[in-house]
Structure 1
Amino acid sequence: MPYTTEEGGRLNNFAREPKIYEAEPLDAGQKKSYFILGIGATVLVGVLIFVAFSVSHLS
């Protein structure tokens, strides 16, 4: 671990920095998967909102 010595002899411990890398662009299959998941999430939220409004208006 990388230690540094400060004034008065105190040791200071720093965490290791992770390696940095660039993200790779999505390929066609990944884009299609994200699109399908987005549609599914939108439908799920819409159904949940519909159910919430339907249940709240019951007498």
Structure 2
Amino acid sequence: MKMFRTPPPDAHPGERVNRFLLVGGVVAGPLFLLVVLLQDLLRPHYDPLRHPISSHALGG
């Protein structure tokens, strides 16, 4: 009869990748909002009531 050992804690390398991707997803939303707010403050003649966020990418 064979004896099976439990795998060591680092035996699942996919867990580290999953955690990295989850943290990236959690950080992305607030970081995007921060960048948009900074651009609103720094871009002259930008009115958030008239221009969508996507107009920041147009550069004008």
Q: What TM-score do the two structures reach when normalised by structure 1?
A: 0.40
Answer 1 or 2: which has greater helix percent: 2
